[in-house]
């Protein structure tokens, strides 16, 4: 289908511009290739001249999009421009400042102000089309490669006539010529983003390391070659010289990574607990703040909930033998307990013929193969599974998972095995469901109020119905043929 879907040959009226004027605008009337990484994002914007756009994800991780219907685009603009809202200064400098693609507003804020939006996740091999005056934003789930361009239809012409242009955008783009690269460019992160405020602190928008024209010197670490704006990294003019080293290289901490994300390297600053944080992660996470705003260090991460640190490998803390944890008792409530044994257990994942699936089967549950001696089946093999009701069901084998298990002992002497997701350390933030069922040991005297039947239902393994089959029943043989 290359002739139908080649982004470089859409044959729309926008192609007339190139043919008649000879003007080529990269990414507008020619295809543009984008490589995305985890956490890279694109801010709220509409296309140049409010054109249509088409985006094809060639390969890699998904890309999530948030979009606002065109009829509600003005509401987003009023929210962003309002004097008592978020970006009144930017609106005064440029009427079309949203076209700068630097404005990020959380979907939670949009929901608060009643601005409707949709969310969709684009997988590899899928197209995404945006419409005139349809504001959109999003982020990448990991490394991927996408191709996009703009196009136009007869319907677009009236939108194009009314499009508001940005007359300052050209000045804010980075000049990547060899001469300019060695001098100064404008940072893309506004100084306000580095300033942490609260109701008891006074807003300080001073930028001691910025030039009067808003530019900042680009400097590169002589050891790791990380390139930063002097103002973004907090480097004074007298230190922004040849031979400069970043904070991590100064302390010879090359093995250290950001404790808030999984990306290695980058512009790191030391936190107040001797860990390391990306400057951008400190800007992006609301609970983090720079103790010295001008120098961008140290980074105070003491207010960040512990669950946030699970994004990084350093924060996924191991549970050790003898540690006191919070776990679920057989009566359905949560109590403090002690880890008395560490084991690893193997679970199998299968897709049943009726469209449901299970990811916690024991090897002995598969009766069509001696998995204890022969090992797991190959992915895609047809197997027979004996379920908890004693009946045998047909299924397709998906994968084998080895899980760390924790044997915990409660104060009443009872012991239960638990997965890591079901065990909480004392300094972890507990989910609301766990908090509502958290009890002390003395409450165990009321365990008789829980019937034996309820307890069995609580711990019984469940087959999860695939949402796409909730309304329909498909014969097992036909379903297997469709899936194959």
Q: Residue 475: is its pLDDT beyond 70?
A: no
56 is annotated as an active-site residue:
no
- Quickly state the pLDDT bin for 54 (edges 50, 70, 90): very high
- Listed in sequence order, the residues at least 6 apart from 439 whose beta carbon sits closer than 8 Å to its beta carbon are 333, 334, 335
Query: Which residue is catalytic, options 47, 77, 247, 329?
Result: 47
Structure tokens at 12: 């729309």
> How far, in Å, are 5, 30, 53 from residue 63 at the CA level?
20, 22, 15
What is the three-state SS of the chain? CHHHHCHHHCCCCCHHHHHHHCCCCECCCECEEEEECCCCEEEEECCHHHCEEEEEEEEECCEEEEECCHHHHHHHHHHHHCCCCCCHHHHHHCCCHHHHCCCCCCHHHHHHCCCCCEEEEECCCCEEEECCCCCEEEEECCCEEEEEEEECCCCHHHHHHHCCCCCCHHHHCCCCCHHHHCCEECCCCCHHHHCCCCCCCCCCCCCCCCCCCCCEEEEECCCCCCEEEHHHHCCCCCCCCCCCCCHHHHCCCCCCCECCCCCCCCCEEEECCCCEEEHHHHHHCCCCEECCCCCCCCEECCCCCHHHHHHCHHHCCCCCCCCEEEEECCCCCEEEEEEEEEEEEEEEEEEECCCEEEEEECHHHECCCCHHHHCCCCCCCEEEEECCCCCEEEEEEEEEEEEEEEEEECCCCCEEEEEHHHCEECCCCCCHHHHHCECCHHHHHHHHHCCHHHHHHHHCCCCEECHHHCCCCCCHHHHHHHHC
pLDDT at 217: 85
Per residue in 62-106, pLDDT tens?
Answer: 999 999 998 998 888 888 876 555 776 676 677 777 777 778 888
**Which one, of 259, 347, 319, 7, lies nearest residue 150 by Cα?**
7
45 is annotated as an active-site residue:
yes
Question: What pTM did the predictor assign?
Answer: 0.39
Query: Which residue is catalytic, options 18, 34, 211, 409?
Result: 34
- Nearest 5 degrees, angle CA 158-CA 164-CA 168? 150
Q: Residue 118: is its pLDDT beyond 80?
A: yes
pLDDT at 66: 95
8 A C-beta contact, residue 295 and residue 268: no
pLDDT at 449: 40
pLDDT at 173: 41
pLDDT at 432: 80
Residues of CATH 3.10.330.70 domain(s) within the chain? 324-469
Instruction: Give the separation between CA 332 and CA 106, rounded to whole angstroms.
Output: 36
- Quickly state the pLDDT bin for 198 (edges 50, 70, 90): very low
pLDDT at 262: 75
Average confidence (pLDDT) over 430-455: 61
Q: Which residue has the higher pLDDT, 335 or 484?
A: 335
- Quickly state the pLDDT bin for 410 (edges 50, 70, 90): very high
Residues of CATH 2.60.120.650 domain(s) within the chain? 2-172
214 is annotated as an active-site residue:
no
- Quickly state the pLDDT bin for 376 (edges 50, 70, 90): very high
Work out the burial of residue 155: count CB atoms within 10 Å of its CB; fewer than 13 is exposed, 13-18 middle, 19 or more buried. Answer: exposed
Per residue in 20-43, pLDDT tens?
Answer: 666 777 767 788 898 999 889 999
pLDDT at 482: 56
Per residue in 323-370, pLDDT tens?
Answer: 999 999 988 889 999 999 999 888 999 999 888 888 889 999 999 999
Work out the burial of residue 70: count CB atoms within 10 Å of its CB; fewer than 13 is exposed, 13-18 middle, 19 or more buried. Answer: middle
- Listed in sequence order, the residues at least 6 apart from 289 whose beta carbon sits closer than 8 Å to its beta carbon are 196, 282, 299, 300, 303
- Listed in sequence order, the residues at least 6 apart from 44 whose beta carbon sits closer than 8 Å to its beta carbon are 68, 76, 80, 98, 103, 104, 105, 135, 136, 137
Domain 324-469, CATH 3.10.330.70 — does that match?
yes
Query: Which residue is catalytic, options 67, 90, 148, 231?
Result: 148
pLDDT at 480: 56
34 is annotated as an active-site residue:
yes
What percent of the chain shows pLDDT beyond 90?
27
Q: Residue 450: is its pLDDT beyond 50?
A: no
In the predicted model, what is the mean pLDDT of the chain? 78
- Listed in sequence order, the residues at least 6 apart from 437 whose beta carbon sits closer than 8 Å to its beta carbon are 332, 333, 334
CATH architecture observed for domain 2-172: Sandwich (2.60)
- Listed in sequence order, the residues at least 6 apart from 297 whose beta carbon sits closer than 8 Å to its beta carbon are 234, 247, 269, 270, 290, 291
pLDDT at 122: 95
- Quickly state the pLDDT bin for 168 (edges 50, 70, 90): low
- Quickly state the pLDDT bin for 206 (edges 50, 70, 90): low
What percent of the chain shows pLDDT beyond 70?
74
8 A C-beta contact, residue 413 and residue 405: no
Query: Which residue is catalytic, options 18, 32, 45, 172?
Result: 45
Query: Which residue is catalytic, options 136, 229, 278, 329?
Result: 136
């Amino acid at each position: 289908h290359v002739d139908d879907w080649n982004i470089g040959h859409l044959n729309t009226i926008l192609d007339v511009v190139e043919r008649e004027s000879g003007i080529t605008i990269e990414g507008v009337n020619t295809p543009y290739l984008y490589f995305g990484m985890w956490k890279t994002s694109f801010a709220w914007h509409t296309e140049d001249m409010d054109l249509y756009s088409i985006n094809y994800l060639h390969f890699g991780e998904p890309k999530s999009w948030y979009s606002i219907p065109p009829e509600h685009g003005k509401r987003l603009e009023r929210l962003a421009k309002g004097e008592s809202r978020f970006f009144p200064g930017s609106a005064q400098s440029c009427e079309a400042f949203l076209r700068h693609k630097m404005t990020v507003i959380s979907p939670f804020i949009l929901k608060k102000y009643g601005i409707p939006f949709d969310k969709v996740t684009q997988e590899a091999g899928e197209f995404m089309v945006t419409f005139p005056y349809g504001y959109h934003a999003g982020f990448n789930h990991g490394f991927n490669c996408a191709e996009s361009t703009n196009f136009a239809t007869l319907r677009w012409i009236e939108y194009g006539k009314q499009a508001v242009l940005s007359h300052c955008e050209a000045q804010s783009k980075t000049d990547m010529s060899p001469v300019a690269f060695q001098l100064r460019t404008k940072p893309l992160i506004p100084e306000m983003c580095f300033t942490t405020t609260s109701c008891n602190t006074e807003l300080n928008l001073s930028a001691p390391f910025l030039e009067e024209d808003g530019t900042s010197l680009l400097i590169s670490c002589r050891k790791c070659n990380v390139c930063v704006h002097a103002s973004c990294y907090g480097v004074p003019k007298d230190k922004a010289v040849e031979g400069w080293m970043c904070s991590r290289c100064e302390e010879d901490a090359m093995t250290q990574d950001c404790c808030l994300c999984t990306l290695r390297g980058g512009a790191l600053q030391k936190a107040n607990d001797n860990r390391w944080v990306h400057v951008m992660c400190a800007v992006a996470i609301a609970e983090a703040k720079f103790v010295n705003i001008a120098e961008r260090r140290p980074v105070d991460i003491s207010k960040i909930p512990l669950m946030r640190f699970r994004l990084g490998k350093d924060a996924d803390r191991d549970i050790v033998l003898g540690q006191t944890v919070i776990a679920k008792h057989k009566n359905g409530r949560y109590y403090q307990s002690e880890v008395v044994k560490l084991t690893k257990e193997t679970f199998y994942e299968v897709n049943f013929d009726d469209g449901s699936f299970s990811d916690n089967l024991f090897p002995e549950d598969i009766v069509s193969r001696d998995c204890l001696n022969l090992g797991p089946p190959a992915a895609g093999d047809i197997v027979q599974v004996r379920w908890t009701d004693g009946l045998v069901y047909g299924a397709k084998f998906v994968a084998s998972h080895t899980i760390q298990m924790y044997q915990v002992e409660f104060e009443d002497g009872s012991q239960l095995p638990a997965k890591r997701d079901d065990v909480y350390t004392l300094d972890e933030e507990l989910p609301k469901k766990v908090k509502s069922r958290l009890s002390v040991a003395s409450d165990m005297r009321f365990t008789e109020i829980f019937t034996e039947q309820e307890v069995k239902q609580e711990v019984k393994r469940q087959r999860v119905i695939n949402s796409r089959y909730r309304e329909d029943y498909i014969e097992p043989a036909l379903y297997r043929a469709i899936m194959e």
